[in-house]
Structure 1
Amino acid sequence: MKREDVVEAIIIEKNKLGLSWQDIADELGMGCVWVTSACLGMNSMPKAPAARLCQLLELPEEAQSVLMSFPTKAWSRDVPQDPLVYRLYEVVGVYGDTLKEVIQEKFGDGIMSAIDFSMDVEKLEDPKGDRVIITMNGKFLPYKSW
């Protein structure tokens, strides 16, 4: 099986069983954003959660090894067309330099890790319209001088 085949099978079974990504994450005992990312092929799963996911969604046996394999983290460099993804792209376009300046002013010259990293999505109910809260938590990695 190819990674794309496993991703398609996961989505089909998830929908067939009426599960949410949070339901799946709860079954695996892991974070919702990370589990969703791994199910969409952008992270490799450790053996135990991969086996549990295959059991939960009744995936073919060979899906487990694909889930555990190291992915190539690549994405289209085209401007995203999906409105939600585009807005996140827009946020980075508008606020990216601002975030860089503020982070480097607080921490020094370096970057936020996307490896030693976690992210969470929360819903804040508001009478004027519900709010999306995205929390990104990455280790600061200073640039090294030599």
Structure 2
Amino acid sequence: MKKSEMTEAILAAKTRKKLAWEQIAEKTGLSPVFTTSACLGMNSMPKEHADKLCAALGLPGEVSEALQAFPHKAWDKTIPTDPVIYRFYEALNVYGETMKLLIGEKFGDGIMSAIDFSMTIDKQPDPKGDRVVITMNGKFLPYKVF
């Protein structure tokens, strides 16, 4: 089973069972962000958790096997058109250099890992309109001098 077929099967079962990503993640024992990313094909999921997800959604073993397979993390290099994704693209274009300079001042020359990494997405009520709170937490990796 291809990752794209896996994702279609998971999304169909999610809709059929009327479950939110947080509910599915609870059943796997993993975070909602990681669970969703793995279901969309961008991360591999350990067998124990993949099997739990498939049991919760009533999906066959081939979906579990596809969840466990290593992903090919390629994406379209064009500017995204989905409004939610585009706003992140826009924010990184506006604030990316600022983030790089401030990380450099605080940590030195290096990068934030997207492998030793976690992320949470929360809702913060606000009288002027609810706020989206995204916290990214990645290990700092200094560049090696040789």
**TM-score, normalization: structure 2?**
0.98
Distance 1:54 1:44 in 2: 14
Question: Who is 1:126 aligned against?
Answer: 126
The gaps in structure 1 that reach 5 residues or longer are none
Q: Give the aligned length.
A: 146
**Residue number in structure 2 paired with 1:113:** 113
Alignment map for 1:61-140 (pairs within 5 Å): 61-140=61-140
Query: Aligned AA for 2:133?
Result: I
Residue in 2 that maps onto 1:6: 6
Instruction: Find the aligned partners of 1:74 and 1:120 in 2 and give their Cα distance.
Output: 23
Tell me, in whole angstroms, the C-alpha distance in 1 between the residues paired with 2:61 and 2:33: 24
Structure 1 segments of 4 or more deviating over 4 A? none
Give the superposition deviation at 1:113: 0.1
* Distance in 2 (alpha carbons) for counterparts of 1:37 and 1:120: 12
Structure 1 residue 56, shift from structure 2 partner: 1.0
Alpha-carbon distance in 2 for matches of 1:29, 1:114 = 21
CA distance in 1, matches of 2:132, 2:61: 37
Q: Cα RMSD over matched residues?
A: 0.6
Which moved further from structure 2: 81-90 or 60-69?
Answer: 60-69
1:1-55 Cα distance to aligned partner (Å, 9 max, x none): 1110010000000011000000001111111101000010000000100011111
Instruction: Give, as a single letter, the amino acid of the residue that structure 2 aligns with 1:70.
Output: F
For normalisation by structure 1, the TM-score amounts to 0.98
In the alignment, the residues of structure 1 paired with residue 51 and residue 135 of structure 2 have an alpha-carbon distance, to the nearest angstrom, of 29
Residue 18 (structure 2) pairs with residue 18 (structure 1): yes
User: Which residue number corresponds to residue 35 of structure 2?
Assistant: 35
The amino acid that maps onto 2:75 is W
Identity of aligned residues (%): 58
